[in-house]
Amino acid sequence: MPKTPDSGPGGPLDVNPDGAENGASERRGPNRAPAEARAAAPEARAAAPAASPATPESGTAAAGGKQIGERKKQFLIAPRHPEGLAPLGLSPLSLSTVEQALRNSPDIDVVDTVGPKNVVGALANGMGGSQGILVARMTEQKAGVLHQQGQGRLLVERDQHLGLMDASHLQPSFVTSVTPSSGPALTAVIKVVSKDGAPVANAEVSLFGSMLPATAATDASGQVTLSLFGETASSVRSLYVKPKSDYWSFYQRDPDISPDEPNVVTLRALADWPSLAGFPQQKTVGWGQKAMRMDQLPATYRGQGIKIAVIDSGIATTHEELRRVHNGFDIVNKKTSPDTWNDDTLGHGSHCAGVIGGAELAYGIRGFAPDAELHACKLFPGGQVSQLIDALEYCIEHQIDVVNLSLGGAEVSEALEQQIQRARRAGIACIVAAGNSGGPVQYPASSPNVLAVAAIGKLDEFPPDSYHAQTLTQNVDAGGYFTASFSCYGPQVAVCGPGVAIASSVPPNNYAAWDGTSMAAPHITGLAALVLAHHPEFQTVFQARNADRVERLFQLIRMSARRVSLADPSRVGLGLPDAVLAVGLQQQTVPANLGAMLPGQQGYGIPLPQPFALPGMFAMPPGFAYRPW
């Protein structure tokens, strides 16, 4: 039996479950602790944080106000898994012991518990060591003491804030050491109108100079006044206008700005570009769906029976394409208003949901899997790792098949990784946006337990004066495909997806064309739902919900991919997946060097199942007609 560092063999917290020591209180001396307390003492000493050194200056009045000191931050705290401690000769701590020790500390606030809600949930996927994760507020110093006293048996990490993976416009470099707030300034009035001269309200307008930018939204008359201190009309570097919906964005490098009269920007409606002609009044197929050959699938391939969770900013059911969404959970406000998952103030989750499973109407854009069951897990604004863990627990409890994660954080989280592993073992496939920093793949896309998706664009799918043109790179192939300049790269990238000028649904009942790996990931999520619903293997040998099912799904998606753009695999993975191949309507050819194509990439080198064929496996359904890419 493993030993604790404090004493002899470690045992369960309750050493007397049968009540054998009834009446022991009469036999104890005045200073003798109860047997249960003595048994728990080593664990409590390991978990209990020492008192922080006093800081008398913090919080005291100074010059008529409060002296600024370090504020409490949110941390994730959990006993480490037994399998990791056994080789070290250590016994695991119990969650209840850790929680009691934290609650006994006056400067630690336990605010929540996330992860498995009961023993059944912890054992359901083969990870019996999962006891749940405590969320507590404390200072960095206190967390450091707690980590040290845990002696390797306690996970202590910051509850990081997460970000959505939409591509923000690039800001020209500016001098951070010189920030003028007075003196000469350029003041300009920008007026944003449509082609017929109607004002466009709530459009975000940004002017960039050599220093700090100026940004504001247009009023009801379509006007906004911006001031750039320390700038002149000749030093303005760029003008960017991002409408809330229904129009293309506008970007002008070195704009001719007049300080003496309104500067008018005329926006194009989305329909004023050939690829979206007649949109949204006429039903349209997005360029990304065409590129992946979704439009060549039989009409009956609609993702029936598959559950998809969109962990994002919610799904606005005010949109006609999203009104059939009836399931969700507001994780951010779970204690006050858990049913407000359909209040999407950012529009990001609704945009992703439209790509994945927007309803097929006589107008607008149909999603990949309109008959799949969508679940909205609202995590933004304000999402943190603890809430993402809670969202994945919702997915485990509701037996979700595919999760779309168009989000990311800066650092790897051990607590989150454990939850992702639990989800994978429960048969849940996590499709994750690679990130938009233009640097290495961000976490959780860098996890070996998910499918990471980079972003590509295509020429002629957006106006040249829109900001989408700024995402263009030099590696354009003969088909016009290019890697997006913002897309993260690395060996973790499995495939790429359409992520530039993607038109989809936004609240309340509108459409917008956005960029980002956030837009690329939903294309692959929608495809994953179609594969699970319609590929014969998932009705037979891979029907059981487990990690093998997830890995086979990822393999089929990767094997269906074709190379796009002239970029190396770190930018696009194996390429752009093909829907017709992925669902099994055409037999895939497995590259002989699949395991060596991308060293270090998740999933590669794992043996594929032996080839087999089922009756009708490659038969073409009625109405199916093959067309080349």
Average pLDDT, whole number, for the chain?
83
Class of domain 286-585: alpha beta
Among this protein's residues, is 319 annotated catalytic?
no
Catalytic annotation, pick one of 312, 344, 371, 578:
312
Q: Distance (Å, rounded) from C-alpha 419 to C-alpha 396? A: 10
Asked whether 409 and 446 are in contact (CB, 8 A), the reply is no
Q: Which of 101-105, 123-127, 248-252 has the highest mean pLDDT?
A: 248-252
What the block records as the tokens of 187 is 């003041």
Directed axis angle between helix 35-47 and helix 95-103, to 10°?
80
- Catalytic residue selected from 413, 518, 565, 570: 518
Q: Is the pLDDT of residue 229 over 90?
A: no
Nearest Cα neighbor of 552 from 537, 536, 573 is: 537
Q: What torsion, rounded to 10 degrees, do the Cα atoms 321, 535, 286, 290 define?
A: -160
Taking the C-alpha atoms of residue 158 and residue 413, their distance in angstroms, rounded to an integer, is: 9
Beta strands 214-217; 163-164: pairing state: unpaired
Nearest-5° Cα angle at 185, 183 to 187 = 145
Q: What is the pTM of this model?
A: 0.83
| 518 among known catalytic residues | yes
Burial of 548 (0-12, 13-18, 19+ CB in 10 A): middle
| Mean pLDDT across 49-57 | 49
**Sign, Cα dihedral of 494, 500, 505, 506:** positive
For residue 44, the surrounding DSSP H or E stretch is helix 35-47
Element (H, E) at 97: helix 95-103
Residue 138: pLDDT over 90: yes
Could you confirm whether 348 is annotated as catalytic?
yes
| Residue 60, pLDDT above cutoff 70 | no
Judge whether 121 and 396 are in contact, CB under 8 Å: yes
Give the integer Cα–Cα distance in Å for 484 and 458: 9
Compute the distance between CA of residue 450 and CA of residue 445 in angstroms, rounded to an integer.
7
The half-sphere exposure of 4 on its side-chain side, counting CA atoms within 13 A, is: 21
Please give the distance of CA 61 from its chain centroid, rounded to a whole number: 42
Annotated catalytic residue within 249, 275, 344, 348:
348
Domain 185-271 has CATH 3.30.1360.170: no
Structure tokens at 125: 């996927």
Domain boundaries, the chain: 70-159, 185-271, 286-585
CA distance linking residue 353 with residue 342, whole number of Å:
12
Confidence of residue 131 (pLDDT cuts 50, 70, 90): confident
- Structure tokens of 248? 């293309």
pLDDT tens across 293-303, in order?
A: 999 999 999 99
Predicted confidence at residue 185, as pLDDT, reads 87
User: Helix axis angle, 414-425 relative to 385-397, nearest 10°?
Assistant: 10
